[in-house]
Amino acid sequence: MEPDHVDEIISAWRVEMPEIAGLPLELAKRTALLMSAFDLAAAAALDKLHLTQAEYGVLATLRRVGAPYRLKPTDLTQALLLSSGGTSNVIKRLVAAGYVSRQADAEDGRSSWVELTPLGVKTAEEAVRATTAAHTRLVSRMPDATARALSEHLRVALAAVEEGVLVHR
């Protein structure tokens, strides 16, 4: 294959600091660039719906849990890998926009539920379709066998690194 931007970065580091110019840096750079491409595509789709990535994360998470489309804020925080303060700010914006409501938990007075409103369900579904279409356009640029192999290789890689890094048990 032709050298790419990451190859140029690695080559430069081989001159400056050869001890860091290896496979870990290559993987980090390539996965970061791939993630950036997906994020940019999603952000463009979400911008048309006037949603941020964080707002989309909450809406999509609530929609995928099924009816009645509700979770506790702590569950949203864990699912989205956000801080509790960040989650709280996103929820406030979504309440103000009419996409979610907050209700006290009848069984635990210290807790509440965050639930999609009918407008929130509609918006979540529209946003999921829009981001999926944007991601599909990116994936369609590569051979199907490459995309499938990449997905499987990433599954193995994530299983090897996520415990204790992304998932704290």
Tell me the per-residue pLDDT of 136-150, one tens digit each, with 9 for 90 and over. 999 999 999 999 999
DSSP summary character for residue 112: E
What average pLDDT does the segment 147-157 reach?
94
What pLDDT shows up at residue 164?
64
List pLDDT tens digits, range 73-106.
Answer: 999 998 888 888 989 999 999 999 999 999 988 8
d(CA 92, CA 101): 9
Peptide bond before 68: cis, by omega within 30 degrees of 0? yes
Give yes or no for residue 169 having a pLDDT over 60. no
Which residues are CB-neighbours of 93 under 8 A, at least 6 positions away?
Answer: 55
Domains and CATH numbers, the chain: 5-21+52-167 (1.10.10.10)
Dihedral of CA 44/66/76/33: which sign? negative
